[in-house]
Chain A
Amino acid sequence: MAPAQRLGGRPEETPAGPADPSDGTANLPTSARRSLRLVLLSDRADAVGLGTTLIVIAAVFSVLSPYFLRISNLSSIGVAISLTGIVAAVETIVLVSGSLDLSFTAVMALSAIVGGVAMQSGLSFWVALLLMFITGIAAGLLNSALVVGVGVNPLIATIGTQFVFRGIALIWTGGQTLLVTGNELSTLANGTILGIPIPVCAVVGVFAVVALAMKYTRFGSRVYAVGGSESAARLAGISIWRLRTLVFVYSSVAASAAGLLLLALSGSASPIAASGQELTILGAVILGGTSLAGGRGTVLGTALGVMLLGLIANGLDLLGVESFWQTLVEGIVLVTAITWDEVRRKAQER
C-alpha cells in the first residue's frame, strides 16, 4: 500500500490573490493575511464584536441616564425584547436554512386576535391557546405550500401572506382593537419565576431550546446543510420539502407564541400590531451574524443583535429622543448589518 500522502497541500498554500491595502493586512505575509481575514470573518469575531458594542452602548447610556441600569429598567428592556426575541430566535433557523419569512408579525397579530376573540366568546384560556397555535401551524403550512410546493421566492411569498394574514385580521375586527383580559393573561404579563418576569423567562427559554436544537440535533445539522447547499443535502437523501415545511411551521408557531405574549402584555389584540417591525427584527438576526444567503448563523448572535436593538430603543426613550430618531437608528443598524453580511460573504468566496 502506498505511503500516506498529504492531499492537496495546506489551505494556506493556496495563493491568496493580489493584496488588498484596504483591509489593513497588506503588509503581512500571504498566509498570515488569509488567517487573519478568516479570524475576523468568523462567527466568534461577530459575537465578540457585537458583545463589545453592546457593553459600550450600555456604558454610554448608563452615563447619560441615571435610570438605565436600574433593575426596573433592565426588566423593562427584557420584557420589551421578549416579543421580538421569540420570533428572532426562530427566524434564525429560517435564514440559516436559506429561506426567509416576513409574515411573522402578521401571524403574531392574527394569532392574538384569534386568542382574543376566543376568550371574549367565553372559551377557556387553554382552548384559546390551542386555537392560536393552530393558527400558527396553518400559517406555516400556507407559507410552505407556496415556497416549497409551488416554488415561489420566499421573500415574495411571505410578503404576500403577510398581507393575507393582516387582511383577515382587519376584516375580522373591522379594523378595531379588541380589549382582552383574563387571569391567565395577567399571570403571563406580570408573573415572575424566581423573580424574573415570565416574558423574559419565555424568551430565554426559546433561545435556549433553539440554540441547543441547532447545535446538537440532527434537525439543526440538516438546517445548516440545506442552507449551505440544498443540492448536496438533496443528494445525501435529506427530504428538503419536509425540512423546509418544518422550518416554516416553527416560524409561524413562534409568531403565535409571541402573539400570546403580546395579548398578555398589552391586554389587547390589534390587527395592525407589530406592523412594520419585520425588517427591524430581520436586521437584528442579520446583525447577529446570520447570513441572508443561508448556511451560517448562530442563535447567540441573534440574541446579541436583539439585545443591542432593545438597548438602543430603551436608551433613546430614557433620553427623551423623538421616536423618528429611533427609526433612523434602526435603519442604520439594518443597512450596516446587511452590508457587513455581503462584505463577509464576498470575502469568503475569495
Chain B
Amino acid sequence: MGVSSEAVLEANGVSKHYGAVTALDNVDFTIRSGEIVAVVGDNGAGKSTLVKVLSGAIHPDAGEIRLEGQPVSWTGPRAARDAGIETVYQELALAPNLDVVSNIFLGREMLAPGPLALLRVLNRDEMRRRALSQLTTLQVNLPRIVGMPVRRMSGGQRQAVAIARSAFWASKVMFMDEPTAALGVRESAAVLRLARRVADHGVAIVMVSHVLSHVMEIADRVVVMRHGRKVGDMRDVKHTSEIVALIVGG
C-alpha cells in the first residue's frame, strides 16, 4: 500500500502560547495515509507542542485540525484515540509487570461473551489470538507474548511491543516520540523497519526524532521547526546538512 494522495490529518494555521512564550506560530502541517513524516528541530523548537496539538493532547489557541477533511476538536487524547490516532511515547507507557498481550489490550481489554461479560471476565484467548496475528503481520518475533512480563525484554523488544500496540489500534495516524533514542544500532534498525511496515499497511506516521540519520533513512518528508515556526517541509533530502541548516537558521 503506497502513500495516498489525500491528506489524512491536517493542521492549518495552528498557534499555541504559554503566557508570553509562543510555542507554535501559525503552523501548517499535512500527512497522508502510508506516509512517514519526521518532525525535527532543536530543543524548544515546538516539535512536542505540535505533536500534542495534532494528537489531541492539547488544544491550539488558533487554527484548526482536520481529520480526513473534517474539522475536529478533540476533548482530550482519549477522543483522538477513538478517532484512530495513537501515540508511542518516549517512555513507551508499557506496564512492566504485564505480558505482551495484556499491554497490547491495556485499557481496551476484550470481555468474554455472554453472562461472563457482566462480571467483566476477560476473553484472554481472543486477545492472545489477535495480538499474535498483529505481531505476525508486522513480523515481530518475541520470546513469549503470554506470561512473561515485558520488563524482562530488551529495550528493542519493548519498543516493538509499544509500536505494535499503537499500530494495532491506530487506524489513521500514529505518533512516535524519539523511538530510537534509547536503542543501540541493531535495535534502532529493527524499529525503523517495523515503522516502515506499519506505514506500508496504510497508517500515517509522524515521528519526532533528534537522530537525523534515522530520519534520513525512513522519512518520506522532513518538517523542520524553529522557534515555534515551520521553517522547512522537505522531500528528497540528500544530506543531513540541509536539515541542520534549517534547524540552526542563518
Q: Which A residues fall within an 8 A CB radius of B? A: 1-11, 13-14, 38, 216-219, 221-222, 224-225, 227-229, 231-233, 235-238, 295-296, 348
B232 located at the interface, meaning its Cβ lies under 8 Å from any Cβ of chain A in the complex: no
Contact of B120 among A217, A224, A229, A235 (CB under 8 A): A217
Contacts of B140 in A (CB 8 A): 7
Contact A219 B152 (CB under 8 A): no
CB pair A7 B109 closer than 8 Å: no
Q: Could you say which residues of chain A place their CB within 8 Å of the CB of B81?
A: 237
- Kindly report which residue of chain A lies nearest to residue B116, judged by CB atoms: A216
Q: Binary interface profile of B, 199-214, with partner A (CB < 8 Å = 1, else 0)?
A: 0100000000000000
Q: Which of B107-124 contact A (CB under 8 A)?
A: 107-109, 111, 119-122, 124
B36 in the interface (beta carbon within 8 A): no
Instruction: Decide if B38 is an interface residue (CB 8 Å cutoff).
Output: no
Residues on the B chain within 8 Å of A227, using CB? 97
Q: Please state if A218 and B109 are interface contacts (CB–CB under 8 Å).
A: yes
CB-defined contacts of A221 to chain B, threshold 8 Å: 98, 102, 109, 122
- Is B141 positioned at the interface, with any CB of A under 8 Å from its CB? yes
Name the interface residues of B80-124: CB closer than 8 Å to any CB of A: 81, 89, 91-98, 102, 106-109, 111, 119-122, 124
Flag if A229 contacts B95 (CB, 8 Å): yes
Q: Check B98–A224 contact: CB distance below 8 A.
A: yes
Cβ contacts under 8 Å, A238 to chain B: 106-107
Give CA–CA (A229, B79) in the complex, Å.
Answer: 22
Q: Point out the residues of chain B lying under 8 angstroms from A7, CB to CB.
A: 140-142, 154, 156-157, 159-160, 187, 190-191, 194
B93 touching A225, Cβ below 8 Å = no
A295, B96: Cβ atoms closer than 8 Å: yes
B143 within 8 A of A: yes
CB distance from A280 to the nearest CB of B (A): 27
Q: Is the CB of A2 within 8 A of B139?
A: yes
Closest residue to B139 on the A side, CB-wise? A4
B122 touches A10 (CB 8 A): no
A-B contact pairs, 19 of them (CB 8 A): A5-B193, A7-B142, A7-B157, A8-B155, A8-B186, A9-B154, A11-B143, A216-B121, A217-B121, A218-B120, A218-B122, A219-B120, A225-B95, A225-B97, A225-B106, A229-B94, A232-B93, A232-B106, A233-B107
User: If A1-B197, A5-B193, A7-B194 touch, does A216 touch B139 (CB 8 Å cutoff)?
Assistant: no
A229 with B154, Cβ < 8 A, contacts A2-B193, A218-B120, A238-B106 known: no
User: Residue B17 at the A interface, CB < 8 A?
Assistant: no
Chain B residues near A236: list those with CB within 8 A: 93, 106-108
Nearest CB of chain A from residue B163's CB, rounded to whole Å: 10
In the assembled complex, B235 has its CB within 8 A of some CB on chain A: no
Alpha-carbon distance between A295 and B196 when the two chains are bound, in angstroms:
34
Could you tell me if B93 and A235 are in contact, using CB atoms closer than 8 angstroms? Answer: yes
Please give me the residue from chain B that is nearest to A9 by CB atom: B154
Partner of B97, one of A6, A219, A231, A296: A296
| Residues of chain B lying within 8 A (CB to CB) of residue A237 | 78, 81, 107-108
Extra 17 A-B pairs, beta carbons < 8 Å, given A9-B186, A232-B93, A236-B108: A1-B139, A5-B139, A7-B190, A8-B153, A8-B154, A8-B156, A8-B157, A11-B153, A216-B124, A221-B98, A224-B102, A229-B94, A229-B96, A229-B97, A231-B91, A232-B95, A236-B107
* B97, A224: Cβ atoms closer than 8 Å: yes
Q: Indicate whether A235 sits within 8 Å of B194 (C-beta atoms), given known contacts A2-B139, A14-B154, A224-B97.
A: no
CB under 8 Å from chain A, chain B span 139-172: 139-143, 151-157, 159-160
Nearest 3 pairs of A and B residues by beta carbon:
A8-B156, A236-B107, A228-B97
